[in-house]
Amino acid sequence: MNSDNPDAALVRGALADDAQSARALVERHREAVYRLARSATGDAEEAFDITQEAFVAAFAALHRYDPARPFRGWIAAIALNKCRDHARRRAVRRFLGLPLPDNAADWVADHAPLPETVAADRAELAATARAIAALPSSLKDVLILRTIEGLSQDDTAQTLGISAKAVETRLYRARQKLTEAMRDKPRSRV
Is 1's pLDDT higher than 90?
Answer: no
The residue among 180 and 96 whose pLDDT is bigger is 180
Other beta carbons within 10 Å of 140: 25
Is 108's pLDDT higher than 60?
Answer: no
Domain boundaries, the chain: 7-184
CA gap 77, 54 in Å, rounded: 9
Classify domain 7-184 by CATH architecture.
Answer: Orthogonal Bundle (1.10)
Q: Which pLDDT value is given to residue 185?
A: 65
Q: Which of 128, 135, 150 is nearest to 87 (CA)?
A: 135
Q: What is the CA radius of gyration of the chain?
A: 18
Q: Could you give the residue ranges of the DSSP H alpha helices within 42-163?
A: 44-60, 71-96, 119-134, 137-143, 153-160
The residue among 121 and 64 whose pLDDT is bigger is 64
CA gap 156, 31 in Å, rounded: 18
Other beta carbons within 10 Å of 70: 20
Predicted model pTM = 0.58
Is 117's pLDDT higher than 60?
Answer: no
Q: Which pLDDT value is given to residue 21?
A: 92
- Report residue 109's pLDDT band, with 50, 70 and 90 as the boundaries: very low
